[in-house]
A and B are shown apart, each in its own frame.
Chain A
């Protein structure tokens, strides 16, 4: 009976395992393998794919464009996390409270979730187009600006920051916000109400309740959330690629966009795989830290 039960369990998870292996792990392992080969599509029929060790990694890591993309990747991911979690905390409280019209507010907050990133990027690209932006038109009509803001093309910088970088970051945060809000909302709903009542008895105000009750009890949820956002942020591709293609002047170029361009525009699958390998290593480090943290928490408990 026990054996049958185990067999049934294996059968149940088998499709997911097969899909993960075929569509996730296999391409990843193959790509990692290519990163140690010379795999130039233009030459492959003549030279094959000889082993070149770490040459591809040396080449991409000595390319200023790729180094810049690493900085941008972390900067944008950090900004998305900070912005989206801060706003997510506020919006989760809004969704958690009881008031008339709450259902409508919940739908509105979740709306970006219904928009695939590719579509969101195309819509925002139009909204932020220098010459056609309705936002610019509105600001101009209100007399707040006297020339169009070049949301996606202004190459002026303040340190590592620029208008395009902030614009794309905002769109990424907007698109990911519902996921974050729902995640935090689930955490909020698991906090016993009597803790807030105790805080009331102790004379705690809203800030005290948030600081000493909500935040500590949300810590595990926020930890998981930050790790997930870091992992997805490091490999993020579509919104950056569609909205700016990494420009202007590489100000929004991220590692995944660099990798894509190497493969599909310049036919260098080896360099693209090496860039992908760097993404994999960085993501792996974060995953390892996350798993270590989880294990430590379990041991502490």
Chain B
């Protein structure tokens, strides 16, 4: 938001006239001295980790930046529970900050087009001459779209396997499962039933409560890719889909180690892991381990992370991401880019990573003492080597993997795994639906 707008909006009653005069002066000064910077920029981030620690870190960073540049950064926290709808509104012309911590670049760029949403900052790209050397390659894919450069990656959400070491020891197991076959054996050994045969502890959960995201790494591990590189063609009617769906279906019905309600609302593997109802999660979201370490002292020494078990084609780990970028409509692009430069220094990146508990896409940060002072942090760093970006080159990707009935991947999983319908028919139907959804993004000239 420009200084003028901010001031005009901010003053009321008898101050309005003085405010308008100030705003006019600011504009006049800007015109007379093109090198002068706006004094304020509006910056949004989502909340991460310990809210107080996150806010304190942001306050420190904004103060240091203001001291250095004279630009005041007004930081606003966006709660994750409303983040998606808020960014959807921004991408359609709703109130937007100057710059922000963003995600889902491909979808929001497509929705906003040339008018709203993320702004390409190609002309500022050379402000980061060592980007490729400093950052992991996969993270840079997430800030480029259609040949344009949109900002600086700052956080990753890499998902290793997590398991209860006390339950594993109780079952006579050593270490984490290394392959899918071992995963089944471990899950069976850690599943516990009562006298009536009811499961009181499930040996395995796929991933987070977002079941579509939970499915994705298993498909990759089976050797599949969801679409072609240009984002135009769906590629799920293949053997990898059959393998992944059969594996999951067997976990539920044949081995009975995965809760058959895992696709329903209210199923929360992380909460179940914390309360001992689940013994192992194959793809545990980034905050799982930091939360256990900080909020569950009673579980100290009872859990461990491991690199995901190897499927027929690899041990790919799901990797979500977030980046700092600029918004269309901002009058303060130069100031925002300076702020982004400040945030992307190794020192800032280190502090952001420590405060949020998120892995950093910057190599130096992940090589720091902070990310190697415990076994679980070392494992996260090792898992980065197997990280597979969750971003896909289609604007409809997030609609395809929505964790709700009606979404292509959700319906395919539900029909194949829960309803145990014929796999070939389910997959062919899903392929057709996915292609039709992807075609939405490409309008014939």
Using a CB–CB distance below 8 Å, which chain A residues touch chain B? 40-47, 65, 125, 129-132, 146-148, 150, 152-153, 155, 242-250, 253, 261-262, 264-267
Contacts and interface: CB of A to CB of B under 8 A. Distances in A.
Interface stretch (B110-118, B141-149, B289-297): B110-118
Contacts of B267: 153
Contacts of A148: 198
Contacts of A247: 263-265, 405
A265 B407 contact: yes
A242 B266 CA distance: 9
Contacts of A131: 259, 272, 277
Interface of B: 84-85, 88, 91-92, 107, 110-115, 196-198, 259, 261, 263-267, 272, 275, 277, 395-396, 399, 402, 404-407, 414, 418-419, 440-441, 443
B111 A41 contact: yes
A224 B222 CA distance: 60
B440 A265 contact: no
B272 A46 contact: no
Given A42-B111, A43-B441, A246-B405, A267 B196 contact: no
A43 B443 contact: yes
A44 B277 contact: no
B275 A132 contact: yes
A243 B277 contact: no
A44 B111 contact: yes
Contacts of A129: 266
A130 B275 contact: no
Contacts of A245: 265, 404-405
A147 B405 CA distance: 27
Contacts of B110: 42, 45
State the 9 A-B residue pairs at the shortest beta-carbon distance, nearest first: A45-B113, A265-B402, A245-B265, A153-B261, A153-B264, A46-B443, A146-B196, A266-B399, A41-B111
B413 to A, nearest CB: 13
Nearest to A146: B196
B266 A40 contact: no
Given A249-B405, A249-B414, A249-B419, 17 more contacts: A42-B110, A43-B443, A45-B114, A46-B443, A129-B266, A131-B277, A132-B277, A146-B196, A150-B261, A153-B261, A244-B265, A247-B263, A250-B405, A253-B405, A264-B88, A266-B407, A267-B107
Nearest to B116: A45
B201 to A, nearest CB: 10
Nearest to B402: A265
Given A131-B272, A132-B277, A45 B111 contact: yes
B406 A265 contact: yes
A246 B267 CA distance: 14
A43 B440 contact: yes
A47 B443 contact: yes
B130 to A, nearest CB: 34
A77 B258 CA distance: 35
Contacts of A155: 418
Contacts of A243: 265-266
B259 to A, nearest CB: 8
Contacts of B266: 125, 129, 152-153, 243-244
Contact of A261 (B265, B275, B404): B404
A45 B115 contact: yes
B396 A264 contact: no
Given A42-B440, A65-B405, A147-B196, A265 B265 contact: no
